[in-house]
Amino acid sequence: MKTILLIHGPNLNMLGKRDPKHYGSLTLRELEKQVSAEAKKHGFKVKAFQSNYEGGIIDFLQKNAPKASGILINAGAYTHYSYACVAVFAGEKVGSYIKAVEKLAEIIK
Protein backbone atom coordinates (compact mmCIF):
# COMPACT_ATOMS: atom_id res chain seq x y z
CA MET A 1 0.00 0.00 0.00
CA LYS A 2 1.28 3.48 -0.87
CA THR A 3 2.05 5.86 1.99
CA ILE A 4 1.14 9.51 2.44
CA LEU A 5 3.00 11.50 5.07
CA LEU A 6 0.74 13.70 7.20
CA ILE A 7 2.77 16.34 9.00
CA HIS A 8 1.57 18.75 11.65
CA GLY A 9 3.68 21.75 12.66
CA PRO A 10 4.00 23.68 15.90
CA ASN A 11 1.11 23.85 18.34
CA LEU A 12 -1.13 21.62 16.24
CA ASN A 13 -0.97 19.05 19.04
CA MET A 14 -3.24 21.52 20.85
CA LEU A 15 -6.11 21.22 18.34
CA GLY A 16 -9.39 20.75 20.16
CA LYS A 17 -7.86 22.03 23.39
CA ARG A 18 -6.63 25.55 22.62
CA ASP A 19 -9.19 28.14 21.57
CA PRO A 20 -11.81 25.73 20.18
CA LYS A 21 -13.97 28.69 19.14
CA HIS A 22 -11.26 29.72 16.66
CA TYR A 23 -9.65 26.37 15.77
CA GLY A 24 -12.58 24.00 16.30
CA SER A 25 -13.09 21.10 18.68
CA LEU A 26 -11.53 18.37 16.52
CA THR A 27 -8.40 16.97 18.17
CA LEU A 28 -5.24 16.12 16.27
CA ARG A 29 -5.87 12.37 16.72
CA GLU A 30 -9.44 12.73 15.43
CA LEU A 31 -8.17 14.64 12.40
CA GLU A 32 -5.59 11.93 11.73
CA LYS A 33 -8.30 9.24 11.91
CA GLN A 34 -10.44 11.13 9.38
CA VAL A 35 -7.54 11.61 6.99
CA SER A 36 -6.51 7.95 7.35
CA ALA A 37 -10.05 6.74 6.65
CA GLU A 38 -10.32 8.88 3.51
CA ALA A 39 -6.87 7.88 2.29
CA LYS A 40 -7.67 4.18 2.80
CA LYS A 41 -10.65 4.52 0.42
CA HIS A 42 -8.12 5.45 -2.27
CA GLY A 43 -5.55 2.76 -1.49
CA PHE A 44 -3.22 4.80 0.72
CA LYS A 45 -2.03 4.46 4.29
CA VAL A 46 -1.09 7.50 6.34
CA LYS A 47 2.02 7.99 8.45
CA ALA A 48 1.36 10.96 10.75
CA PHE A 49 3.91 13.10 12.59
CA GLN A 50 3.72 16.25 14.70
CA SER A 51 6.55 18.38 16.02
CA ASN A 52 6.89 21.75 17.65
CA TYR A 53 10.47 21.83 16.37
CA GLU A 54 11.45 22.60 12.79
CA GLY A 55 14.40 20.20 12.97
CA GLY A 56 12.09 17.35 13.98
CA ILE A 57 9.97 17.90 10.88
CA ILE A 58 13.05 18.07 8.66
CA ASP A 59 14.50 14.86 10.15
CA PHE A 60 11.18 13.07 9.65
CA LEU A 61 10.93 14.25 6.04
CA GLN A 62 14.50 13.35 5.16
CA LYS A 63 13.95 9.84 6.51
CA ASN A 64 10.46 9.19 5.12
CA ALA A 65 9.83 11.39 2.07
CA PRO A 66 11.87 9.30 -0.40
CA LYS A 67 9.57 6.30 0.21
CA ALA A 68 6.30 8.26 0.34
CA SER A 69 3.80 8.73 -2.46
CA GLY A 70 2.88 12.20 -1.24
CA ILE A 71 3.02 14.64 1.64
CA LEU A 72 0.22 16.59 3.33
CA ILE A 73 1.40 19.29 5.70
CA ASN A 74 0.02 22.00 7.90
CA ALA A 75 3.28 23.67 8.78
CA GLY A 76 1.56 26.10 11.13
CA ALA A 77 3.78 29.09 11.86
CA TYR A 78 6.54 27.63 9.66
CA THR A 79 4.38 28.40 6.64
CA HIS A 80 5.49 32.02 6.78
CA TYR A 81 9.24 31.81 7.18
CA SER A 82 10.77 28.33 7.09
CA TYR A 83 13.24 28.13 4.23
CA ALA A 84 14.66 24.92 5.75
CA CYS A 85 11.30 23.13 5.48
CA VAL A 86 10.75 24.42 1.95
CA ALA A 87 14.16 23.10 0.87
CA VAL A 88 13.22 19.58 1.98
CA PHE A 89 10.16 19.68 -0.30
CA ALA A 90 12.09 20.44 -3.49
CA GLY A 91 10.82 18.04 -6.13
CA GLU A 92 8.24 16.38 -3.87
CA LYS A 93 4.49 16.18 -4.43
CA VAL A 94 3.16 18.19 -1.52
CA GLY A 95 -0.30 19.38 -0.51
CA SER A 96 -1.28 21.65 2.33
CA TYR A 97 -4.26 21.02 4.56
CA ILE A 98 -6.09 23.00 7.16
CA LYS A 99 -9.66 21.72 7.51
CA ALA A 100 -10.02 20.09 4.10
CA VAL A 101 -10.31 16.39 4.92
CA GLU A 102 -13.19 16.15 2.44
CA LYS A 103 -10.85 17.45 -0.30
CA LEU A 104 -8.23 14.77 0.35
CA ALA A 105 -9.32 12.78 -2.70
CA GLU A 106 -8.50 15.77 -4.93
CA ILE A 107 -5.12 16.33 -3.29
CA ILE A 108 -3.91 12.73 -3.59
CA LYS A 109 -4.79 12.27 -7.28
Per-residue confidence in pLDDT tens, the chain, 109 aa: 899 999 999 899 999 988 888 778 999 999 999 999 999 999 999 999 999 998 999 899 989 988 999 888 887 766 556 555 555 555 555 555 544 445 555 555 5
We report the CATH number of the domain holding residue 52 as: 3.40.50.9100
Determine the pLDDT at residue 106: 59
Report the number of distinct structural domains present in the chain.
Answer: 1
CB atoms within 10 A of CB 68: 16
**Alpha-carbon distances, residue 3 vs 10, 23, 25, 83, 95 (angstroms):** 23, 27, 27, 25, 14
Determine the pLDDT at residue 53: 92
Q: Are 27 and 17 in contact (CB under 8 A)?
A: yes
Domain residues for the domain of 95 are 2-107
Determine the pLDDT at residue 70: 87
Beta strands of the chain (E only): which ranges?
Answer: 2-8, 44-50, 70-74, 94-96
